[in-house]
Amino acid sequence: MNETMAVNDPAATTSAEFFTRARARLSFDIPAGLTDPDLIPPSGDRGTDRMLEILAREQPIRPAAVLIPVIDRPQPTVLLTQRSAHLNEHAGQISFPGGKIDATDASPLDAALREAEEEVGLARQFIDPVGYLDLYGTSFGFRILPTVARVTPGFILRINASEVDDAFEVPLAFLMNPANHQLHSKEFRGVERFYYAMPYGERYIWGATAGILRVLYERIFAP
């Protein structure tokens, strides 16, 4: 297998190759659409884009940040959380550490790091931010700016039970394999919109989390 094929094949890509490729393709430029309701984050799906346009007119946008913690193991993994069942929004769903950007946060990156520490006790000393992924819009009006980060093993998690029921790792190779990206659809005001799901064992990864992972695949691995 030649070098080009290896970096486009998640199963054959080492941690070092993944982070090198991510640093070359990502930056810390903050997209204007994070706070400008007139700029709609493109999804590549006409139904979803239409939904986001409608929501931007009907309700205030909600800037948010999440951390995509890629753990630098011999076979890299992604740290995900399962949200507490009692939460008002996205209860019980699989998510990245993250949440809304507060006025006291210096940047979306700072918000993502703060939330990761608050939710699962992931200390900043273990986190090496790589760059922002594309802005992602949701049906709840959130504009999510994900930060991809290299996480050094050796951390000890402290789960905040008021927000998170569990934290677990999924192999990056599984999440970046397009064969595991199921495409589902549902209707929104007469327009069909599509969304991704990536079931992993007993874990059902779908919605914004699966959508953001698909974007990560497209930015890092897609030809």
Strands 142-151 and 127-132: antiparallel
Residue with tokens 């950007």: 101
| Confidence band, pLDDT 50/70/90 cuts, at residue 222 | confident
User: Is residue 19 in a domain?
Assistant: yes
Single-letter code of the amino acid located at 92: G
pLDDT at 47 over 90: no
**Structural domain boundaries, residue 133:** 15-172
The more confidently predicted of residues 105 and 12 is 105
pTM for this predicted structure: 0.92
User: Is residue 215 in a domain?
Assistant: no
Q: State percent of the chain over pLDDT 90.
A: 67
Over the chain, what is the mean pLDDT?
89
User: Is residue 221 in a domain?
Assistant: no
DSSP secondary structure, the chain, as one string: --HHHHHT-GGG--HHHHHHHHHHH-B-PPPGGGT-TTSPPP-S-HHHHHHHHHHHHHS--EEEEEEEEEE-SSS-EEEEEEE-TT-SSSTT-EE-SEEEPPTT-SSHHHHHHHHHHHHH---GGGEEEEEE---EE-TTSEEEEEEEEEE-TT------TTTEEEEEEEEHHHHT-GGG-EEEEEEETTEEEEEEE--BTTB--BHHHHHHHHHHHHHHT--
> How far does CA 172 lie from the centroid of its chain?
13
Per the rule left: phi > 0, alpha: psi between -120 and 50, beta: everything else, 137 is: beta
Write the pLDDT tens digit of every residue in 81-128. 998 755 555 545 899 999 999 999 999 999 999 999 999 999 999 999
User: Is residue 73 in a domain?
Assistant: yes
User: Is residue 129 in a domain?
Assistant: yes
Write the pLDDT tens digit of every residue in 154-189. 999 999 988 898 999 999 999 999 999 999 988 777
pLDDT of the residue at 2: 40
User: Is residue 195 in a domain?
Assistant: no
User: How many residues does this entry show for the chain?
Assistant: 223
Q: Please report, for the domain that includes residue 100, its CATH number.
A: 3.90.79.10
User: Is residue 1 in a domain?
Assistant: no
**Alpha carbon distance 223, 96 (integer Å):** 26
Give the count of domains, the chain: 1
User: Is residue 145 in a domain?
Assistant: yes
